[in-house]
Each structure stands twice: as structure tokens, then as C-alpha cells.
Amino acid sequence: MRIVMIGTGYVGLVSGACFADFGHQVTCIDKDAGKIAALQSGKIPIYEPGLEQLVSSNVAAGRLDFSLDLKDAVAQAETVFIAVGTPSRRGDGHADLSYVHAAAREIAENVRGFTVVITKSTVPVGTGDEVERIISETNPQADVVVASNPEFLREGAAIRDFKHPDRIVVGTEDERARKVIAEIYRPLYLNQAPIMYTGRRTAELIKYAANAFLATKITFINEIADLAERAGADVQEVARGIGLDNRIGSKFLHAGPGFGGSCFPKDTRALVKTAEDHDVPLRIVEAVLAVNDARKRAMARKVAAVFGGNLRNKTVGVLGLAFKPNTDDMREAPSIPLITALQDLGAKVKAYDPVSMEQAKLELPNVTYCENPYSCASEADALVIVTEWEQFRALDMSRLKKEMCQPIIVDLRNVYRSDEMAKHGITYVSIGRTQASEPVLAVKDV
Ligand code: NAD
């Protein structure tokens, strides 16, 4: 099958490389000349475990290539995926569909013969209708079916997620399109990955409902963590105790600094806006957004609480900047509002992240970037763990303690246990766990 992927970002590049690995002929297109030049010279513009090897082997096998020009590629393709960005629209939080609409126009101008156009970007319910309208208006002769195939991969585990999905959702009522999409995913079908065929609008809404539900789960456990902290309970035990119930499930019940990243914040905002347009307020999702926004700055007050609320003349080391481990993606990372708030409270901030520091410098220029966790701890009054990279799970505490001005660790991911920290003589503050070594100071006390 000849496939064109329009948009070669996290989703387009991973999907394109995986489809090529299934044996299809894939051309990945992007408007970003630097990105395409890098890919053509064998460099991968993002950090994603396993991706470099997957791309290079499929390029070498002649199944995967990269181009700035979609004209010839679209003319020859049987299937064109749209995997461009759908960021929050400035000002109102709606999904910005301008990239999707531009891609639809370009497809319409260049398409030849029967072609299935599949939206992989996360788009509000009804976008497929608009893409179809744009294509038929731009090129009334075009023989095109527009389908929806939302993507559920997670950055950091993207290839595994793509090749072993919990489900594949396909939104189309057109029999020819179903056959084409079944053929594309056939290698996964043989592995018994469930493929759910449904209506296009339903498929679009499934993606937003899934992300909003997961964001709600995170926010729920974060609020329970605040209560546990006040009431003398342990949120991790609470999460375990409820997660063992199959109706609830244990995933996405890790209390932390609030959700961020390239999807949850923008998708929950867009879903709320779509619902408003339909005159159906989604009050739970609205509350999730408000609680999560407030939480990020509250985390800085949690750090300040250790010093009586004042961070003047204090140096804080931050471990982890990316919104989660195994990615360099800084989009809406909780570290950004946290560090900004620490600076507002008077702190000098140093930081270390294994892969995202180059990206972080664009967002956070007034930070001293360090070479490793120990130089980040050097001369610091407190060390804050923000992203739970593997390499932060077994830090040499004696060495850290020697480097620091004061041995204080604020662990926003509950990587460590307070009894271990007490043994090292480290003052330890975590999320939703009140132990003897922790000050019983809640954020509201400050
Ligand atoms: P991204 O910003 O990493 O990549 C988008 C790419 O599209 C960019 O490289 C951009 O230059 C390119 N582009 C924009 N307009 C173009 C055009 N007309 N022609 C060619 N290229 C164009 O975005 P992403 O993270 O890959 O997300 C893409 C979509 O997938 C979004 O809708 C997102 O919500 C969704 N999604 C993302 C993830 C994730 O983990 N990142 C997971 C599931 C779904």
C-alpha cells in the first residue's frame, strides 16, 4: 500500500515508520525544511526510544522516505494520513484546525484516483465533515473518502503502543475505506489487536473522551493526595487500594504535580469548547482543568513551605524538565509553571534533564542548566524531583547530601520513601504522604 503521512512530528514520524515496518511504502511530508533535511541525512529530530533504529532500517529497505513536496507523493498514494498539529487556538482554547484545513486543501489539489484520506490528528467532533467539504469544494472531481483514525500512542513508549495497541478505532461508514484501512493495519489484526469500526463523528469523540477521562483520573488522585497529606493517610496506598478494583484499574493513579504535555491540556480545553458550542457544559472536565492549573503553581508553594514560605536567596535544583520520562517534549510541561513560580518567589533555579534541556532553554532562559543530577544539587538549598526519569530512582544520597547547602528533597513523583531519606538525614517532602520526617505543612498554610 502506498501511504503518505502529512505532518512528520511525534505522531506522523512514529506512525509512518511503523507502517513502513509493516511492509507499506511510506512517504512522510512536512513543511519544516530543517526537519526534513535532518531526516534525509539520517538524524531524528525528536527523542523517542527505538525510533532511530526503526527509521534507519526502513529507509535502508527503501520503504520510507521524507519530502517537503507532497504533490507527487499524494498523486501516487492510495491513502493519505493527516497527522499535523492541532494546538490550542490562541485566546479561546478551541483546537486550532488551520493546519488540518491547509493539509486538506493541498491533498484536494493533488489527489489522483480513489484515495482514502484519514485524519490521525486529534480533531473535534465534526472536523471530518469539514475536511470532506474542503476537498470536494477545492476539487469537485476528487474521488475521496474521509475517515477518522485517532492515535492513542504515548510519547516515550510510542513504538510499542503503535505496534501493540489496546485498540484501533476507525471512523467511517464507507465500505471501500474500511477495506483499505483493514489492509493497512492487517499485520496488527493478525496479532489480534481489536479494531473497532464506528461512525466518523463517534471516532473523533472517542479520542477526546479518552484523554479527558485519563486527565480526570490523574486530577482525582491529586486531590485525594492533598486530603491524604492533611488527614495523615498515604495516597500511594489509597491508589493501590482502589486500583486493585478492576472497575477502577491501577493506571493513571499516580499523584504528582499535575498533568501536562502535548495532549491532555489542549485536548481537555478543546473538548470543553466543543461542548460549549453544542450547549452541553462538561462541568467535570471544566473542574479538572481548573484544579490542574491551580496545582502547578501550588507545587512551588509546597517547596517554599519548607523554608517558611520565602525563597529569597535560596537556590533550588530541579531534576527533570520534560513532561514525562523518555521524551524531550516540553509542551505544557509542569516544570515550566513550577520553575516560573519558584523564580517569582525569589529562588535561583538550576536544572538537569537527561534529554530535554535544549528544548527547555527556549521556554526557560533564566535557569542554570547542569550536566548531571549532582552538579544540579551542588550548592542547592533544596532539590525538587519533577520528572521520574529512571536515572533519578537510585541517586547516591550521600553524594547528593555532600553537594547540597541543605539536605532537603521535595519529591513531586513519590520516587523515594521517607524512611530511606530519614536514614540519610535528608529532610524529605513528598506528595500525599505525611510521615514523621515531613513537615505537616499543606500548601494552603503558606
Ligand atoms: P507535532 O507538532 O510534533 O508535529 C506536527 C507536524 O506537522 C509538524 O512537524 C509541522 O511542521 C507539520 N505540519 C503542519 N502543517 C503541515 C502541512 N500543511 N503539511 C505538512 N506538514 C505540516 O505534533 P504531534 O505531537 O505529532 O501531534 C500531531 C497530532 O496528533 C495532534 O493532533 C495531536 O493532538 C495528536 N496526537 C499526539 C500524540 C502525542 O503523543 N504527541 C498522541 C496522540 C495524538
Q: Look at residue 106 in the predicted model and tell me its pLDDT.
A: 98
Q: Whose CA is nearest to atom 4 of ligand 1?
A: 9
Q: Whose CA is nearest to atom 28 of ligand 1?
A: 85
Confidence of residue 286 (pLDDT cuts 50, 70, 90): very high
328 lines ligand 1 (CB under 6 A): no
268 lines ligand 1 (CB under 6 A): no
Q: Look at residue 440 in the predicted model and tell me its pLDDT.
A: 41
- In this prediction, residues 355-384 reach a mean pLDDT of 97
Distance in Å, CA 358 to ligand 1 centroid: 20
Residue 248 clears pLDDT 60, i.e. is over it:
yes
Domains 2-198 and 246-446 share a fold: yes
- Share above pLDDT 70 across residues of the chain, in percent, rounded to a whole number: 97
Distance in Å, CA 367 to ligand 1 centroid: 28
Contact in structure between 83 and 3 (CB atoms under 8 Å): no
Atom index in ligand 1 nearest the CA of residue 152 equals: 43
Distance in Å, CA 267 to ligand 1 centroid: 13
316 lines ligand 1 (CB under 6 A): no
12 lines ligand 1 (CB under 6 A): yes
6 lines ligand 1 (CB under 6 A): yes
Q: Is 308 left (phi over 0), alpha (psi -120 to 50) or beta?
A: left
110 lines ligand 1 (CB under 6 A): no
CATH of range 2-198; options 3.30.930.10, 3.30.70.100, 3.30.465.10, 3.40.50.720? 3.40.50.720
Pocket residue to mutate for ligand 1, from 14, 28, 30, 82, most atoms within 8 A of Cβ: 30
Q: Look at residue 12 in the predicted model and tell me its pLDDT.
A: 98
Q: Look at residue 439 in the predicted model and tell me its pLDDT.
A: 44
- In this prediction, residues 145-149 reach a mean pLDDT of 98
- In this prediction, residues 20-34 reach a mean pLDDT of 98
Confidence of residue 348 (pLDDT cuts 50, 70, 90): very high
Residue 445 clears pLDDT 70, i.e. is over it:
no
Residue 375 clears pLDDT 80, i.e. is over it:
yes
Distance in Å, CA 6 to ligand 1 centroid: 9
Q: Look at residue 444 in the predicted model and tell me its pLDDT.
A: 42
Residue 441 clears pLDDT 80, i.e. is over it:
no
For 297-329, how does the pLDDT look when each residue is reduced to its tens digit (9 = 90+)? 899 999 999 999 999 999 999 999 999 999 999
For 194-228, how does the pLDDT look when each residue is reduced to its tens digit (9 = 90+)? 999 999 999 999 999 999 999 999 999 999 999 99
For 67-113, how does the pLDDT look when each residue is reduced to its tens digit (9 = 90+)? 999 999 999 999 999 999 999 998 899 999 999 999 999 999 999 99
151 lines ligand 1 (CB under 6 A): yes
Distance in Å, CA 406 to ligand 1 centroid: 43
Q: Look at residue 435 in the predicted model and tell me its pLDDT.
A: 53
Atom index in ligand 1 nearest the CA of residue 263 equals: 34
52 lines ligand 1 (CB under 6 A): no
Confidence of residue 280 (pLDDT cuts 50, 70, 90): very high
Fold annotation for 246-446: Rossmann fold (3.40.50)
- In this prediction, residues 380-390 reach a mean pLDDT of 98
Atom index in ligand 1 nearest the CA of residue 150 equals: 44
Q: Spell out the domain ranges in the chain.
A: 2-198, 246-446
Pocket residue to mutate for ligand 1, from 11, 51, 110, 323, most atoms within 8 A of Cβ: 11
Q: What is the mean pLDDT of the chain?
A: 95
- Residues forming beta bridges with residue 234, ordered by sequence position: 433
- In this prediction, residues 139-166 reach a mean pLDDT of 97
**Catalytic machinery residues:** 263
